[in-house]
Amino acid sequence: MDISSIIKIKPKFVPPLDQDFVPASLINRKFRELVKASGGGIPLKLALERADGSISTYSTLVFKSDSPYAQANLPYVERIVKFLLWQRGGWKVYVGGPADIGEYIKKTYSTAGARAFDATFMGGVYERPFTVELTDVAGVPGDDEESIPLGRHLDGCRVGFDLGASDRKASAVIDGEPVYSEEVPWDPRNATDPEYHYQGIMAAIRRAAEKLPRLDAVGGSAAGVYINNRVRVASLYRGVPKDEFDTKIVNIFLRIRDELGVPMEVVNDGEVTALAGSMSLGENPVLGIAMGSSEAVGYVNASGNITGWLNELAFAPVDYRPNAPADEWSGDIGCGVQYFCQVGTIRVAEGAGMLFGPDLKLPEKLVVLQEKMEQEDPLARKVYETVGTSLGYALAHYADFYDLNRVLILGRVTTGKGGDIMLAQAEQVLKADFPELADKIKISLPDEKSRRVGQSIAAASLPEIR
């Protein structure tokens, strides 16, 4: 069901090379305005429960059944559920409100429904069958969440690494000061042998450790979901057969820790992005967005702590057009991975007619794009303006779900002049369409070196030396 044909919007900015883009932020804002103008809507409350019993809630209003906009209720709530699942995570979703909405969500988020990928994924992360429970608003449980401190340990001789889909980074750090950093290309998603992952990670750690007088601790940042240093789900290992994933990948970091004989912590790369932002900016709350092989997001709250949320916004929808580009893994459309990473940036460039060598992979294509930008190529500039426009609208959407103060943007896509153009365009969008957010949210780019290896340096601070 196409919500954009029901709820009409007029963006003040249009991405120059992606003109069909329909900002979720504007659709949702217009939806809420129309509900209010109709004399008030029907309360709807959602809650997501995670394996430790923690619960996140979200409340909104929907149209009454006799409203001419009532048919927008189902796609509106479905996209919110989708966003919440990938932002906060959960094995159970409570839907309190109109029965037709609850039934639609239950059918859609089943292993036989349109969002079967999401249901199966969440069940795997939390090791419980994914469930949608229908109730009234009063029957939805309340918030029950805790936050925990992360990293910021700067003492001693440490190695930090960051594992992406196109390269792995490692840094050697002494008492908080980096003394060595490296970037090494690799191709983990197509590797079927678990040893490829093990040997690559160990090589990165050992090379960095050689630059230290001793090794006291190792911290790691990696795309995917990690619980107690165990790999739960991650696209980095999608090429490994399931039996070998279960026996050799799930505990790969426990194996490495034991072999190194030092404290070691590995967490999601988005969390380390946010940690890097919080440490460098000295302010909270911080949303960190790493535009690398995919979109990695993390969040540090006002207390400087992390939550138990997933923050996997690569899978969260930001574009509500019915023909939005589809994610190759989940099959869903309009999600962050198609906009705010190498995948999305090259999609825009190639869609506009930019030519790349037939044998080039995404990282190599990005280098070509960046070289064109350094030469002031007008098409390259439009690529970054396009990504920046989409980013501005996405940040306004994220602000519906996060308390935002500072946003740190880093990663390979931000390297060079293009990163500055992208940020400036996002700021223009906020000022024009969301002035109240433009006054509150400050977007930052780190220095050029930190844009590329800042995560591995922050990762080094994860473990505590006892």
Task: Could you please state the CATH topology (level 3) that the domain comprising 157-271 is classified under.
Answer: Nucleotidyltransferase; domain 5 (3.30.420)
pLDDT band at 447 (very low <50, low <70, confident <90, very high): low
Q: pLDDT grade, residue 449 (50/70/90)?
A: low
Residue 147 confidence (pLDDT) above 90: no
**The predicted structure's pLDDT at residue 455:** 67
Instruction: Read off the pLDDT of each residue in 262-290 and give the average, rounded to a whole number.
Output: 88
Boundaries of CATH 3.30.420.40 in the chain? 157-271, 274-457
Share the mean pLDDT of the chain: 93
Least Cα distance to 461 among 181, 221, 213, 281 occurs for 221
Share of the chain above pLDDT 70, in %: 98
Instruction: Kindly tell me if the per-residue pLDDT of 450 is higher than 60.
Output: no
pLDDT in the model for residue 235: 82
> What are the tens digits of pLDDT across the range 383-416?
999 999 999 999 999 999 999 999 999 888 999 9
Element spanning 287, H or E? strand 286-291
Report yes or no: 300 and 274 within 8 Å, Cβ to Cβ.
Answer: yes
Q: What percent of the chain has pLDDT over 90?
A: 78
Alpha helix (H) ranges present in 4-115? 24-37, 73-88, 99-108
Q: Is the pTM of this model over 0.75?
A: yes
Please give the helix or strand (H or E) that residue 271 lies within, else none: helix 269-281
What is the rounded distance in angstroms from the CA atom of residue 455 to the CA atom of residue 161? Answer: 8
Q: Please give the pLDDT value at position 453.
A: 52
Instruction: Give the number of other Cβ atoms within 10 Å of residue 137's Cβ.
Output: 14
State pLDDT tens for residues 52-102.
899 999 999 999 999 999 999 999 999 999 999 999 999 999 999 999 999
Q: Which CATH class is domain 274-457?
A: alpha beta
